[in-house]
A and B are shown apart, each in its own frame.
Chain A
């Protein structure tokens, strides 16, 4: 087990720069999820940690060791691939034993370790099968097994669950979490699935277009998104973004002809254009608010009711998540109330969060 540290890592494919300087430290035993939209460079970053891809500049440390120029085989890591990448001509047992044999582990120990891993993952009955005789979920388990038998310093996962059906995905997610809780091996997990990210991560690294937008616990990222991108990317339905302007005193936001009071003041940005972020679940109806909207569409989901409405002043579309028993009709005018503490203020030009 070891910490993983990236220092100023960049990556260029030809003339195209896909990673623009990533710095981060993943603590020993931590489960970190790299989350971001497709093509933002998550896999590339993971492959740089693995040594499968050579960074253009920057350094990679695993534990105290600078592995920047070390080959994958000497990094003492294990990786679970999206397509599992099992050895098709080897049995499940041999697949899991391969890494141990290559490292010259004594036969008896290979046997005990593979069997122990197989027991953990309930693969005992399948040890003699070939990968093509397994279901997708079973292959996934074998890929996990191959990673855990070697007891590496770091686990790397590249969207390991994305080829499974929804139910199996939930099940394997729980299993991965449990495995990590018992093994406590430093893990880096790449996904673009928010729910996976939120449930598995000790900390999240949110990436966008080759840059780290925010690093924090899932709760931090949810409650205090560092930018409009993070606010919009995390949470479902996404955060409502309303364009406005800070008042002259900097303690309220003017949205068209309505003013919304903030919890704190941003005197340095007084009068500047901003984006006001409000999560759908933080909007309620009634109260003293002057933010009014007319209902366009109502989606009753049972537990919740999603209401899509246009604000009267700025003609922005907002989504509200109301309790399932809320009675709202199309065309109805709503007075929307938001607790000032739940308002997020972002600079409109840079997209960066103001305050906190």
Chain B
């Protein structure tokens, strides 16, 4: 039964909604509208005069080799982060779902990384991987591996991928664990009696039943890798060396703040905005249509 709340006063419900609506308008819609507006403008270097140029900025970014390189970096980065954040989370949650001693402690510990701020997380990773102060970094250098993510493109990308994925594992873990716990035990017992081995049970029963969760996390993680990893990248590599870790969102920052190119930076934001809208729509469509058992 769904509870229906009855308001006698027509104004009250709107009044109660107002704060949320106001926040959304001021912090989300207003900047978004600004971005759309600026994406059609070209400003002089001092921001004093601007000129309406239709879609010229979009044309400019799409023919900019730096932007195209950022797309490539972003694709590699996002896919890697998503895979590396989802697969270990699934494994950990499957293990946590078993009846083990100390399960609560184990779960609590696994949730911690999520509470760590991106900059702090980045510093933690520095302590591990920095070639001269990091534990693992120094070890790698000592055994002769030419480890220096400040110079090596692939190593830099690897580092930001690891740090970003690590932060997201907790979140995925929680969702997978909840998903696992909503699978009735008797269904798995029935499969066991039907003769399926543990591995087989996982792939034929557990994994399909988790597919709504997995799909949801896929989208959330992609969005995370696209938009929420700015802090991590900024603290670890600042997009470098060169542009090897400059993802699309980082380029928005570089072009807008460092290069003071408000027009193309805004055009890039608009492209990202369209992307996330598309992703969200796909998700809603898919979830509405399928996989509710």
- The answer to whether B193 touches A87, judged by C-beta atoms less than 8 angstroms apart, is no
Is B136 engaged at the interface, CB distance under 8 Å to the other chain? no
Query: Which residues from A are CB-within-8-Å of B194?
Result: 73, 78, 98-99, 102, 146, 150
Nearest B-chain residue to A150, judged by Cβ? B194
Within 8 A of B (CB), among A143-183: 146, 150
Nearest B-chain residue to A143, judged by Cβ? B190
B190 partner, pick from A71, A74, A87, A130, beta carbons under 8 A? A87
Nearest A-chain residue to B207, judged by Cβ? A89
A103 partner, pick from B191, B195, B204, beta carbons under 8 A? B195
B contacts with A: majority SS: helix
Is B223 engaged at the interface, CB distance under 8 Å to the other chain? no
Task: With both chains docked as a complex, state the minimum distance between the C-beta of A123 and any C-beta of chain B, in angstroms.
Answer: 17
Point out which of B192, B197, B205, B208 has the most chain A C-beta atoms below 10 A from its C-beta: B192
- The answer to whether B187 touches A85, judged by C-beta atoms less than 8 angstroms apart, is yes
B193 partner, pick from A77, A83, A132, beta carbons under 8 A? A77
- What 0/1 pattern do residues 75 to 103 of A give for CB contact below 8 A with B? 10111010101111100000000110011
Nearest A-chain residue to B291, judged by Cβ? A89
Query: Which residues from B are CB-within-8-Å of A83?
Result: 184, 186
- The answer to whether B205 touches A87, judged by C-beta atoms less than 8 angstroms apart, is yes
Task: With both chains docked as a complex, state the minimum distance between the C-beta of A347 and any C-beta of chain B, in angstroms.
Answer: 42
A73 partner, pick from B186, B192, B293, beta carbons under 8 A? B192
Query: Which residues from A are CB-within-8-Å of B209?
Result: 88-89
- The answer to whether B189 touches A81, judged by C-beta atoms less than 8 angstroms apart, is yes
Alpha-carbon separation in the docked complex, A74 to B195 (Å): 7
B184 partner, pick from A78, A85, A99, A102, beta carbons under 8 A? A85
Is A52 engaged at the interface, CB distance under 8 Å to the other chain? yes
Query: Which residues from B are CB-within-8-Å of A87?
Result: 187, 190-191, 205
- The answer to whether B208 touches A89, judged by C-beta atoms less than 8 angstroms apart, is yes
Alpha-carbon separation in the docked complex, A73 to B193 (Å): 5
- What 0/1 pattern do residues 266 to 286 of B give for CB contact below 8 A with A? 000000000000000000000
Nearest A-chain residue to B189, judged by Cβ? A52
Alpha-carbon separation in the docked complex, A108 to B272 (Å): 52
Nearest A-chain residue to B183, judged by Cβ? A88
- The answer to whether B186 touches A78, judged by C-beta atoms less than 8 angstroms apart, is no
Is B220 engaged at the interface, CB distance under 8 Å to the other chain? no
Is A50 engaged at the interface, CB distance under 8 Å to the other chain? yes
> Given A83-B186, A85-B184, A85-B186, do A50 and B193 touch, yes or no (CB 8 Å)?
yes
Query: Which residues from A are CB-within-8-Å of B84?
Result: none
Nearest A-chain residue to B209, judged by Cβ? A89
Within 8 A of A (CB), among B151-210: 184, 186-187, 189-197, 200, 204-205, 208-209
- The answer to whether B189 touches A102, judged by C-beta atoms less than 8 angstroms apart, is no
Is A72 engaged at the interface, CB distance under 8 Å to the other chain? yes
- The answer to whether A73 touches B184, judged by C-beta atoms less than 8 angstroms apart, is no
Query: Which residues from B are CB-within-8-Å of A130?
Result: 293
Alpha-carbon separation in the docked complex, A8 to B18 (Å): 70
- The answer to whether A72 touches B193, judged by C-beta atoms less than 8 angstroms apart, is yes
- The answer to whether A132 touches B293, judged by C-beta atoms less than 8 angstroms apart, is yes
Query: Which residues from A are CB-within-8-Å of B186?
Result: 81, 83, 85
Nearest B-chain residue to A73, judged by Cβ? B195
> Given A87-B205, A89-B293, do A71 and B192 touch, yes or no (CB 8 Å)?
yes
B192 partner, pick from A72, A146, A150, beta carbons under 8 A? A72
- What 0/1 pattern do residues 208 to 221 of B give for CB contact below 8 A with A? 11010000000000
Query: Which residues from A are CB-within-8-Å of B204?
Result: 98, 102
Alpha-carbon separation in the docked complex, A73 to B204 (Å): 15
Task: With both chains docked as a complex, state the minimum distance between the C-beta of A68 and any C-beta of chain B, in angstroms.
Answer: 17
Nearest A-chain residue to B188, judged by Cβ? A85
Task: With both chains docked as a complex, state the minimum distance between the C-beta of A160 and any C-beta of chain B, in angstroms.
Answer: 12
Query: Which residues from B are CB-within-8-Å of A77?
Result: 193
- The answer to whether A73 touches B197, judged by C-beta atoms less than 8 angstroms apart, is yes
Alpha-carbon separation in the docked complex, A71 to B196 (Å): 11
Task: With both chains docked as a complex, state the minimum distance between the C-beta of A49 and any C-beta of chain B, in angstroms.
Answer: 11
Task: With both chains docked as a complex, state the minimum distance between the C-beta of B260 and any C-beta of chain A, in angstroms.
Answer: 54
Query: Which residues from B are CB-within-8-Å of A72?
Result: 189, 192-193
Query: Which residues from B are CB-within-8-Å of A78?
Result: 193-194
Query: Which residues from A are CB-within-8-Å of B184?
Result: 83, 85
- The answer to whether A85 touches B192, judged by C-beta atoms less than 8 angstroms apart, is no
Query: Which residues from A are CB-within-8-Å of B193?
Result: 50, 52, 72-73, 75, 77-79, 99
Task: With both chains docked as a complex, state the minimum distance between the C-beta of A99 and any C-beta of chain B, in angstroms.
Answer: 4
Alpha-carbon separation in the docked complex, A102 to B197 (Å): 9
Task: With both chains docked as a complex, state the minimum distance between the C-beta of B152 and any C-beta of chain A, in angstroms.
Answer: 45
Task: With both chains docked as a complex, state the minimum distance between the C-beta of B184 and any C-beta of chain A, in angstroms.
Answer: 6
Binding site for B on A (CB under 8 A): 50, 52, 71-75, 77-79, 81, 83, 85-89, 98-99, 102-103, 130, 132, 146, 150
Known: A73-B197, A89-B293, A102-B194. 19 other contacts (CB 8 A): A50-B189, A72-B192, A73-B195, A75-B193, A78-B194, A79-B190, A81-B189, A83-B186, A85-B184, A85-B187, A86-B190, A87-B191, A99-B194, A102-B195, A102-B196, A102-B200, A103-B195, A132-B293, A150-B194
Q: List 19 A-B contacts (CB under 8 A).
A: A50-B189, A50-B193, A52-B192, A72-B189, A73-B194, A73-B195, A73-B197, A81-B190, A83-B184, A83-B186, A86-B190, A87-B191, A88-B293, A89-B293, A98-B196, A98-B204, A102-B196, A150-B194, A150-B195
Which 9 A-B residue pairs are closest in the complex by CB-CB distance?
A: A99-B194, A85-B186, A88-B293, A85-B190, A73-B195, A72-B192, A102-B195, A102-B196, A81-B186
